[in-house]
Amino acid sequence: MLSPGQKAPAFTLFSSDKKEVSLAGFENKNLIILFFPMAFTSVCTAELCEVRDNISTYAGLNADVVGISVDSPFTLARFKEEQNLPFDLLSDFNKDVSQAYGAYYDTFVMNMKGVSKRAAFVVDQQGIIQYAEVLDNAGEVPSFQAIQETLSTLK
Residues labelled as active-site residues: 44
Q: At what angle do helices 73-83 and 42-53 cross, to 10 degrees?
A: 60
CA distances from 138 to 43, 69, 153 (A): 8, 13, 28
Q: Which amino acid is at 10?
A: A
Q: What is the DSSP letter of 10?
A: P
Nearest to 130 by CA among 31, 24, 17, 27: 31
What is the rounded CA–CA span in Å between residue 152 and residue 155?
6
97 CB-near residues (< 8 Å, 6+ apart): 9, 11, 13, 68, 90
Count other C-beta atoms under 10 Å from residue 108's C-beta. 17
